[in-house]
Structure 1
Amino acid sequence: MADTPCKGSRLSQNDMILIKREVVAILKSLKRKVLIHQMQVKRDKMEGLPSHNDIMTCLTSTNTRIPQLLDVMASNPTTATRILLYGYMTLHCIYGHRPGVYSNMTNAEVRKADTTGTAFGYLIHVSNHKTANAFGEAQLYLTVEEFGWMKRWLEIKGTLTCTQSRYFLYTAGKNPSRNLAYSLRLAWADVGLHGPINFTDLRTVHADNAKRFQDKGNRQRVSDFMCHNTATADKFYANNPSLKEAADIRLLFTESLQAAAAASTAAAAGNEDTLAGIDIDSDSSGEEHSPAPYQDSLPRLSDAETSDEEFSKNVNAWRAKRDQSLAEHSPSDMGEERVPYSAPTSATVASDQLVNMQCFVVLSPLVNTLYPV
């Protein structure tokens, strides 16, 4: 409305902005209520799902009832029998497809599966369904016996009047069947089961079983085959854990606390061992002292190990490096005055003088830079 206002609209751009802000605020306030409502509906639906025993009972009953209903349709066809047959055909397919997959399945798609089938079974590809843009064609796998029911139904349809519809589960007109949910409930009651049932419940049962009893890869394969997106379902599954899942999650909290306590105890024991092995008189800073610019090449002097000849060589080497460093930092350029020095008279005195002169040579440029004369 804001981007393309009506021709007769008198609202200004500021009015449009105010309206948009008001609508966004209203939607934001409703988001929490809608989310809570969705979680409650999901929880109620999960609690009312049919059990696996009910599903297995239906599969066993369909193996007997579908051939019986086909015999009735061949000898004495009625609308009630046909509707009940549709219910059993959709109830027998355990793939959790939406009703649109069954209602939009055409005769041509069934006949094409007959030409590509083998002793392993038959695969029907249905192109027209709700999520075809995301998942492509929907697939229905049938065994040789089950596909035999489909072929017999095609033969029976050829003997009936008003069966010009191209859809496999035909109606009186040319449109696909739109009331398969009613047929499903009739078949559910005919089996002897009670309670409400719909296609969404069957889809949820199969999706939940795949989530709980299959690994991640197989679950994805099952979901893709039934054209089911797990993103939305995972959101509600995470927010509505079962009683056992909640107990397992609580156990995870307990295990995390125990692991944290064990790690803390191990860290404390490790610190005690480390402190016990530290020499107090040693340098514990852990940092290496960087030498002076030419300190790494200066000879180390020792009263016990340095002879007079070696001492003279050390002094000459020190003076040469001292003169080179002083030449690089000329006092005439910096306004410094040379500090008079005298040759060391002993190894110990020479060592002290070396350290003092090194500090002077290194620090002099910095001092003059911060505090110029």
Structure 2
Amino acid sequence: MKSSLQVTTSDFYIKNISHFLKYMADTPCKGSRLSQTDMILIKREVVAILKSLKRKVLIHQMQVKRDKMEGLPSHNDLMTCLTSTTTRISQLLDVMASNPTTATRTLLYGYMTLHWSCIYGHRPGVYSNMTNAEVRKADTTGTAFGYLVHVSNHKTANAFGEAQLYLTVEEFGWMKRWLEIKGTLTCTQSRYFLYTEGKNPFRKLAYSLRLALADVGLRSPINFTDLRTVHADNAKRFQDKGNRQRVSDFMCHNTATADTFYANNPSLKEAADIRLLFTESLQAAAAASTAAAAGNEDTFAGIDIDSDSSGEEHSPAPYQDSLPRHVPKRDQSLAEHNPSDMGEERVPYSAPTSPTVASDQLVNMQCVVVISPLVNTLYPV
């Protein structure tokens, strides 16, 4: 961390140390003097270091993503590149057919990969690992509608399988002509479409791309990752969820990984739209609160607190007339609270037999509240 390494590089190195410690713990070395307790302490220390780096790594990734989005090539730049590649590829093929040189071949590779990346945004490994056999197979299966090249060897082949390149008749014509020119050149034992003088694939595509961009007239530092990010960002912003997934799968791009490691960095307009959503939520909450308060006032406005809900008038003391006249008032009061003493059957309040019974019980409860003070005054305990 005190060196000039970025925090992500330090995190990568420490993760490698953690993997090595896990291997040492699972497969102890005979010459190791570390005990099992020592290994546990060391692994805990490494885990704590990785945990302390998590926040710094996330912030660094957000900053890198924001800088990358601000430096992406514009739509006009991409259209300028496509227009230039359509003209220059044919010219460079003519030069390679008449006077082949290494510099011309390198510039041709830059223009061809620039054209493909401006359309699909593939990684450079897809272009460098493309073989002559894969191109010839596409020639046999192509039609007047176009040609489809399948590249089996690339970085994310385990997750996405073969990478595809759909080419028009004119674009595939450049590839067929390049195969014909390669047959006339010496030192072409390489099986790769973008050959080198040896048997290995061409690994300097980034340099070739810079040469092509300089030849076009674009001085901005654009690389394959920037072109790939442009397509991924355009698919995210201008396509629905289904079409975005189709585009991402075709360019072998994992949207889940991108969304995990690169936090969302909204543009200025997107941030303004998000703020508008917050404002709309507050306004909706205020309107709902006002409507609820108005509804409560309308509900209680027509209720007379002095009368019960049944709308009928009840005498303040209905109990005295419901019992025989020969029962004393104090016995009447006890009977009102103890119906079983007077030989009457008690109806449980918790289980009313009918709505009428439930309504009578509510009425009786209200009467008890009114009468009770009078009873206590007349017959103090």
Q: TM-score range with shorter-chain normalisation?
A: 0.7 to 0.9
Give the distance between the partners of 1:184 and 1:360, measured in 2 at CA.
95
The offset of 1:40, in angstroms, is: 1.0
1:252 Cα deviation (Å)?
0.8
With over 3 angstroms needed to count, the CA separation of the structure-2 counterparts of 1:356 and 1:89, relative to structure 1, is closer
Shift of 1:270: 1.1
By how many angstroms is 1:365 displaced? 30
Contact between 2:61 and 2:262, CA under 8 Å: does it hold in 1? Answer: no
Residue by residue over 1:31-80, the C-alpha shift from the partner in whole angstroms, topping out at 9 and shown as x without a partner, is 11111111111111111111111110000001100000000000000000
Contact map agreement 1:96 1:202 (CA 8 A) in 2: yes
Cα distance in 1, alignment partners of residues 342 and 251 from structure 2: 87
Q: C-alpha distance in 2, partners of 1:39/1:351?
A: 67
Q: Which moved more, 1:45-54 or 1:135-144?
A: 45-54
Would the aligned equivalents of 2:188 and 2:197 in 1 still touch at CA under 8 Å? Answer: yes
The answer (yes or no) to whether the contact 2:152–2:162 under 8 Å persists in 1 is yes
Is the CA contact (8 Å cut-off) linking 2:25 and 2:39 kept in structure 1? yes
Call closer, same or farther: CA 1:89–1:16 in 2, change over 3 Å.
Answer: same
1:70-122 Cα distance to aligned partner (Å, 9 max, x none): 00000000000000000110011510000010000011111111111111111
From the superposition, tell whether residues 265 and 327 of structure 1 become closer, same or farther in structure 2 (CA, over 3 Å): closer
Q: Aligned with 1:239: secondary structure?
A: coil
* Alpha-carbon contact 2:323-2:332 (below 8 Å) kept: no
Q: What TM-score, normalized by structure 1, do the two folds share?
A: 0.75
Aligned to 2:256: 231
Q: C-alpha offsets along residues 174-215 of structure 1, whole Å, 9 cap, x if unaligned? A: 011111111111101100111212110100011111111111
Structure 2 length-normalised TM: 0.74
- Residue deviations 1:294-345 (CA, integer Å, cap 9, x gap): 9999999xxxxxxxxxxxxxxxxxxxx9999999999999999999999999
Alignment map for 1:313-332 (pairs within 5 Å): none
- Please provide the CA RMSD for this pair: 8.2
CA contact 2:308–2:363 (8 Å) conserved in 1? no
The worse-fitting range, judged by mean Cα deviation, of 275-284 and 88-97 is 275-284
Question: CA 1:214–1:339 in structure 2 vs 1: closer, same or farther (change >3 Å)?
Answer: closer
Deviates more, 1:206-215 or 1:285-294: 285-294
Aligned CA distance change for structure 1 residues 33 and 3 (closer, same or farther; 3 Å): same
CA spacing shift, 1:357–1:164, aligned 2, 3 Å = closer
- Kindly state the Cα deviation for residue 14 of structure 1 after the two structures are TM-superposed: 2.3
**Structure number with bigger Rg:** 1
Query: Retained in 2: the 8 A contact 1:91–1:187?
Result: yes
Superposed, which structure 2 residues align to 1:211-360 within 5 Å?
Answer: 211-235=236-260, 238-280=263-305
Q: In 2, are the aligned partners of 1:329 and 1:365 still within 8 Å (CA)?
A: no
* CA spacing shift, 1:265–1:127, aligned 2, 3 Å: same
Does the aligned pair in 2 maintain the 1:185–1:197 contact within 8 Å?
Answer: yes
Question: How far apart, in 2, do the equivalents of 1:64 and 1:341 lie?
Answer: 95
Alignment partners' CA distance in 1, 2:169 and 2:149: 13
Over residues 252-294 of structure 1, what are the superposed CA-to-partner deviations in whole Å (9 max), with x where a residue is unaligned?
1111111111111111111111212445356679999999999
How far residue 15 of structure 1 moved from its aligned partner, in angstroms, is 2.1
- Taking a change above 3 Å as real, the CA distance of residues 267 and 353 of structure 1, as seen in their structure-2 partners, is closer
**Structure 1: gaps of 5 or more residues:** 301-320
CA distance in structure 2 between the aligned counterparts of 1:116 and 1:168, rounded to whole angstroms = 18
The answer on whether the counterparts of 1:170 and 1:177 sit within 8 Å (CA) in structure 2 is yes
Asked if the contact 1:325–1:361 (Cα under 8 Å) also holds between the matched residues in 2, the reply is no
Specify whether residues 263 and 356 from structure 1 end up closer, same or farther in structure 2 by C-alpha distance, changes over 3 A only. Answer: closer
TM-aligned CA distance change 1:161 to 1:351, over 3 Å:
closer
2:194/2:202 contact within 8 Å kept: yes
Task: Compute the displacement of 1:217 (Å).
Answer: 1.3
Distance 1:221 1:62 in 2: 26
Residue aligned with 1:205, SS: helix
Range 156-165 or range 267-276, more displaced = 267-276
Q: Is the alpha carbon distance of 1:5 and 1:278 closer, same or farther for their aligned partners in structure 2, counting shifts above 3 Å?
A: farther
Shift of 1:348: 18
Aligned partners of 1:42 and 1:236 also within 8 Å:
no
Distance 2:248 2:349 in 1: 91
The Cα offsets for residues 212-239 of structure 1, whole Å up to 9 and x where unpaired, read as 1111111111111100011232346643
Structure 1 residues 230-239 or 200-209, which shifts more? 230-239
CA contact (8 A) 2:232 2:248 kept: yes
For residues 153 and 355 of structure 2, the distance between their equivalents in structure 1, rounded to whole angstroms, comes to 101
CA distance in 1 between partners of 2:37 and 2:238 (Å): 56
CA gap 1:61/1:283 in 2 versus in 1, 3 angstroms? farther
Please report how far the alpha carbon of residue 11 of structure 1 lies from its aligned counterpart in structure 2 after TM superposition: 2.4
SS in 2 for 1:287: coil
Structure 2: state its 5+ residue gaps.
1-23
Q: 1:241 to 1:345 in 2, by over 3 A?
A: closer
Which of 160, 163, 175 is the equivalent residue of 1:138? 163
Structure-2 change in CA distance of 1:27 and 1:210 (3 Å): same
Alpha-carbon distance in structure 2 between the residues aligned to 1:256 and 1:122? 51
Q: Check 1:179–1:286 CA distance in 2 against 1; reply closer, same or farther (3 A cut).
A: farther
Structure 2 counterpart of 1:151: 176
8 Å contact kept, 1:292–1:358:
no
User: Any conservation in 1 of the 2:340–2:346 contact (CA below 8 Å)?
Assistant: no
Distance 1:299 1:132, change over 3 A: farther
**SS of structure 1 residue aligned to 2:164:** strand
